[in-house]
Chains A and B, each alone.
Chain A
Amino acid sequence: MNLLEVRDLSLEFKTRSGTVHALQDINMEIGKGETVGIVGESGSGKSVLSFAILRILDAAARTRSGSIQFAGMDMLGASERSLEEVRGREISMIFQNPRTALNPIRRIGRQIEDVLATHTSTLREDMKKKAIEALARVRIPDPERRYDAYPFELSGGQCQRVMIALALACNPQLLIADEPTTGLDVTTQAAILSLISELAKERKMATILITHDLALASEYCDRIVVMHAGHVVETAPVAEIFRRPRHPYTARLIASTPAPEQSIATLASIPGSLPDLRRDDLPSCRFHARCERAQEDCISKPLPNAAVRCLHPL
């Protein structure tokens, strides 16, 4: 049985300038201990999807249809109380910009203890030891001293390590990492991602890695979900997706990933931009206007409900 199953999820935001069709017919599943990458350009709905899984969307969000099952629990029907139980204990999340994700006026050790106090039955006298252990596990040098540090005293990479320590403090079954390395330099990036994948393996924890960096996802994920304009356009194992991308958008995305010894001039970009998701007459394939393989039926014919959601795949 899968750990997480998203079925036919459609979600909208009611705004003053119209309804934003943010997600449509999303299907996705994650097995225990699996690492799945969600890739797509900015605005494709990657973060909205992860917020929807945790049910921490803005009040303007409406779920139109579909279901989200996590470890047998119906996330859409669950009460706020039981959701609070799940958040941070069963599903954790880390995001980009770790510096702002830590409370600036609390010592980091205290912040870890907060999480332990909320979700575990750790005794008060063990708290400090556990917090220092958590810091040591994410390889923060000199954890006893760092326990007393404020976030502004740490580097960006160290802040992200603290975030990971916070997220993993309760041994969650699923970690959602929303662009965890954006804004960190390349060496730190590699160190952070290796740390995440190592800890994930060690605990048999499933991971969703949200990124717009396809190369990064290919290195750390088992399977890749490509999103575009609120659709999942293609789902495939990593090896497959690079050897033979089926959806035109995936192919363009791979072509636009820079490789060494490639000059900027030869780097392909994807023409056009995301369609305005407030339109009520969105074509059934939302990539239609940007696609060189587009045909008449792309506008109105429903998309196949398969791993590759394209009427004319490559």
Chain B
Amino acid sequence: MNATLRHVKYVATENLVTLGAFILFSGFVLLALFGPWIAPYDPLASDTLAALKPPSAAHWFGTDSLGRDILSRIVVAARLDFGIAVSAVAASFAAGSALGAIAGFFGGWADRIIGRIADTIMAFPLFVLAMGIVAALGNTVANIVIATAIINLPFYIRVARAEVNVRRNAGYVEAARLAGNSDLRVLALHVFPNTLPPMMVQISLNMGWAILNAAGLSFIGLGVRAPQAEWGIMVAEGATYIISGEWWVALFPGAVLMLAVFTFNLLGDGLRDIMDPRMRT
């Protein structure tokens, strides 16, 4: 355990970009966990006297058209946005890597069927597909998670398939079989864990993408509904005020959204280095 912590420390300090990504990420995690206690105001309390006020000492990020504090709304929204992204990515990672691993390991018909499923999903413009799924299943947060998970599925299937496929005939796989392991045991215990470092990069990139996707769906009015604080909705609400000069309403939630995606994109490399024991020397 101690060695693992030392390794994490090494990976983080060796590369300043990684360190920055880890710090930003922990910041977001703290917001997601403790947002409601950190937020200076009630994110839903409107105050029409203070409507559309620019950033000030009292309201750092200004207020929106109902006089709600934008900073508080951004802080509280972190939990919802991260919750959607994490559960969507977890679901597509679990399903996608299992399907991809089976396709890559057994080949033949399994590969053909699973491969075509992935191709079919990829054939749609993914955001439009997500819109369609949410519209068909109903306008709820759970369905946003499902839609996001489905459109991310092909990426996991492909990465897992490719990574398992190149290892299928590796010496240690043969050795594991010779030691009397069944096919499924070989796949689950010997091949799959070896694909985790490259998968980690995919997960991290995907996380940013999932947040953007969830926000995008809310932006066009699907999924999360109005008074609830969510970055996409906040940008959508602020968009109408950009022309009249109230830039802060859309800018701050948009900037946080961008920062979140940015963090996840940088995080990938660091996570892979932590997962890969070859980096431990």
Contact = CB atoms under 8 A, between A and B. Distances in A.
Given A95-B174, A104-B194, A84 B277 contact: no
A83 B177 CA distance: 11
Contacts of A80: 182
Given A105-B276, A150-B278, A152-B278, A93 B178 contact: yes
Interface in B165-188: 170-172, 174-182
Contacts of A115: 179
Contact of B178 (A54, A97, A102, A152): A54
A170 to B, nearest CB: 9
Interface residues of B, number: 22
A101 B277 CA distance: 17
Interface string B179-206: 1111000000110011010000000000
B180 A86 contact: yes
Given A95-B174, A166-B175, A104 B278 contact: yes
B172 A101 contact: yes
Interface in B18-72: none
B172 A100 contact: yes
Interface in A119-167: 119, 150, 152-153, 163, 166
A56 interface: yes
A92 B172 contact: no
B26 to A, nearest CB: 26
A14 B280 CA distance: 45
A103 B194 CA distance: 8
A118 interface: yes
B280 A150 contact: yes
A89 interface: yes
A72 B193 CA distance: 38
Contacts of A85: 180
B175 A101 contact: yes
Chief secondary structure at chain A's binding surface: helix
A101 B190 contact: no
Given A95-B171, A100-B171, A105-B194, A87 B278 contact: no
Chief secondary structure at chain B's binding surface: helix
B15 interface: no
Contacts of A103: 172, 176, 190, 194
Nearest to B275: A105
A95 to B, nearest CB: 7
Contacts of B281: 152-153
Given A104-B278, A152-B278, A153-B281, A118 B181 contact: yes
A228 to B, nearest CB: 25
Interface in B247-281: 276-278, 280-281
Nearest to B179: A88
B180 A119 contact: yes
B172 A84 contact: no
Nearest to A94: B175
Contacts of A100: 170-172
Contacts of A83: 180
Contacts of A106: 193
Nearest to B182: A84
A184 to B, nearest CB: 15
Nearest to B197: A105
B179 A166 contact: yes
Interface string B141-174: 0000000000000000000000000000011101
A54 B196 CA distance: 31
A33 to B, nearest CB: 21
Given A105-B276, A153-B281, A118 B180 contact: yes
Contacts of A92: 178-179
Given A105-B193, A114-B189, A87 B179 contact: yes
Contacts of A105: 193-194, 196, 276-277
Counting chain B CB atoms within 10 Å of each CB, which of A54, A88, A92, A97 scores highest? A88
Nearest to B3: A148
A118 B179 contact: yes
B177 A150 contact: no
A87 B178 contact: yes
B172 A104 contact: yes
B110 to A, nearest CB: 13
B194 A150 contact: no
B280 A102 contact: no
B45 to A, nearest CB: 52
Please name the 6 residue pairs, one residue from A and one from B, whose CB atoms are nearest each other, closest first. Answer: A100-B171, A88-B179, A88-B180, A101-B171, A87-B180, A103-B172
20 contacts: A83-B180, A84-B180, A87-B177, A87-B179, A87-B180, A88-B179, A88-B181, A89-B180, A95-B171, A95-B175, A101-B172, A102-B171, A103-B172, A104-B172, A104-B194, A104-B278, A105-B276, A118-B181, A150-B280, A166-B175
Interface of A: 54, 56, 80, 83-89, 92-93, 95, 97, 99-106, 114-115, 118-119, 150, 152-153, 163, 166
Given A89-B180, A93-B178, A103-B190, 17 more contacts: A54-B178, A56-B177, A80-B182, A83-B180, A84-B180, A88-B181, A95-B175, A97-B171, A99-B171, A101-B171, A102-B171, A104-B277, A105-B193, A105-B277, A115-B179, A118-B179, A153-B281
